[in-house]
Chains A and B, each alone.
Chain A
Amino acid sequence: MNYQFDFHFLTGNFGALWEGLKVTLQLALVSNVVGLILGFGLCLLTLNRWFFIRWPAQLFIEFFRCTPALLQIVWFFYCLPMLFNVFIDPITMGVLALGLNLTAFNAEAYRAGVQAVPREHLDACVALGLRPWQRTLYVILPQALRTALPVLMTNGISILQQSALVAIVAVADLMYVGKSIATEAYRPLETYSLIALIYFALSLPIAQLVQWLERRQDTALAR
């Protein structure tokens, strides 16, 4: 390989990359807020004792789990406006697609957390005279959140990576800006490597934090 690396051309594009990064962060953060809140609501619906509440919630989850994220984004951008005759700005649309996708995955994480609460704890709540809502609030939720936290965070990182998919529908995120610069400068190797490095640098600390949390939970259980 005798390729001559040249990163100098990138100095003129820092501004554009920064703008792209801001869009990416915005997509990832807002999607996570949506996913964390709606995900818990959806989880409660899937655990509802009534079939007609449980069933649509489960269908929603399966829809997002069993279709490609890329397809979901494309569908939201092209089909939703056609169906409902609404035109929402691209970033909001991206947040909607990514956020609902994350909602489905987070709901499953929460559900696993709720189901990991030992049955005996529910009995103990009855024995202590706690009402059902007190049981949910003081005993089930805190334990479920703890169990679910590593998975919720991993889902959060993965939505940061998935957010790059919105570049395909011309949302000017980091990936999209990178693609433009690479094409203009004929320097795909340097550009994409730098972009990869940025995604990596954003995700690694969170991934490390997840590992640390899991180790801590393991030692707590081992005691």
Chain B
Amino acid sequence: MTAPLLVAAQPQASFVPDSAGGDFIQLRDVYKSYGEGLVVMDHLNLDMRADDRLVIIGPSGSGKSSLLRVMMGLESIQGGTISFQGKSYIDGNARNHGKPLDVRLQTQVGMVFQHYTLFPHLSVLSNLILAPMKVHGLSKVQATEKARLFLARLGLESKLNAYPSQLSGGQKQRVAIARALMLEPKLMLFDEVTSALDPEMVTEVQNVMMQLAEEKMAMIIVTHDMHFARNIASRVVFCANGKVVEQGPPAQIFTQPKEPRTREFLEKVLHLD
């Protein structure tokens, strides 16, 4: 067996995969709204296994991004519970208003955003080693060594001392992925990471994600790229109005959707392609 390229070799915690729904992540009855009018998570239930790659699709305003932002601890929920690796992670009724209860669990989640979030005043290397040094307490030598490794595997060695302004959009997103991987997350969240890219740069970023998929990284991906969704997903989840309408293997969802709403949505977006 070859060594994993991007995911640091590590035992998958104390977690034992579950053949049924999966207890890597369990969302139960999760409720979130922005005021009265806009309910983005309406008593949502969702399960995920440690080797799952969920791709969430659905019309805009259906709460796809909200789900990721909640998992990352960027936004709170108003009801329900979320467990992560078998431990209570977020509780909508807790005193901290539905934000992550456990900072250690939170640091095991990594996220890449739609817009470029590399810090422009820091070189690629400094972007990569900032959090490992300040949060995980790695020495500069250790962190730099690790950063070299990740960049080399992404074919970005030569950009070690470049500044984000000197990179193409695709390179920026790849560095952003490397920056998140530096913290050895157990779960990666991708929020429309190729939406802001020029078409010719989309593939290089998607390839990195495919590489991660091959190494069994748990991922939740929000994307509008149905072709990519089909390739990378272990399970596609169609959300609308804050609820999971339908979920299943990509082949089933894309060719024989059961729900009329799923079919309607897919006809629209696939027609646009």
- Please list the residues of chain A having a beta carbon within 8 angstroms of any beta carbon in chain B: 118, 120-121, 123-124, 126-130, 134, 138-139, 142-143, 146, 220-221, 223
Check if B134 sits within 8 Å of A134, measured CB to CB. yes
Q: Which residues of A contact B115 (CB under 8 A)?
A: 118, 120
Q: Which residues of B contact A130 (CB under 8 A)?
A: 130-131, 134-135
Q: Which of B171-208 contact A (CB under 8 A)?
A: 179-180, 183
Query: CA separation between A142 and B179, bound complex, in Å?
Result: 19
Check if A121 sits within 8 Å of B135, measured CB to CB. no
Query: CA separation between A142 and B74, bound complex, in Å?
Result: 23
Nearest residue, chain B, Cβ from A222: B165
- The reply to whether the CB of B111 lies closer than 8 angstroms to some CB of chain A is yes
Q: A129-B131, A130-B131 are in contact. Are A146 and B121 (CB under 8 A)?
A: yes
Check if B135 sits within 8 Å of A123, measured CB to CB. no
- The reply to whether the CB of B96 lies closer than 8 angstroms to some CB of chain A is no
Query: CA separation between A190 and B187, bound complex, in Å?
Result: 75
Nearest residue, chain A, Cβ from B182: A128
- The reply to whether the CB of B120 lies closer than 8 angstroms to some CB of chain A is yes
Check if A143 sits within 8 Å of B165, measured CB to CB. no
Check if A128 sits within 8 Å of B165, measured CB to CB. no
- The reply to whether the CB of B88 lies closer than 8 angstroms to some CB of chain A is no
Q: A120-B113, A223-B166 are in contact. Are A128 and B179 (CB under 8 A)?
A: yes
- 7 examples of A-B residue contacts, CB within 8 angstroms: A120-B116, A123-B72, A126-B73, A127-B109, A127-B180, A128-B131, A128-B183
Among candidates B72, B116, B165, residue contacting A127 with C-beta atoms closer than 8 Å: B72
Chain B CB within 10 Å — which of A120, A127, A129, A130 has the most?
Answer: A127
Query: CA separation between A127 and B120, bound complex, in Å?
Result: 17
Query: CA separation between A110 and B83, bound complex, in Å?
Result: 41
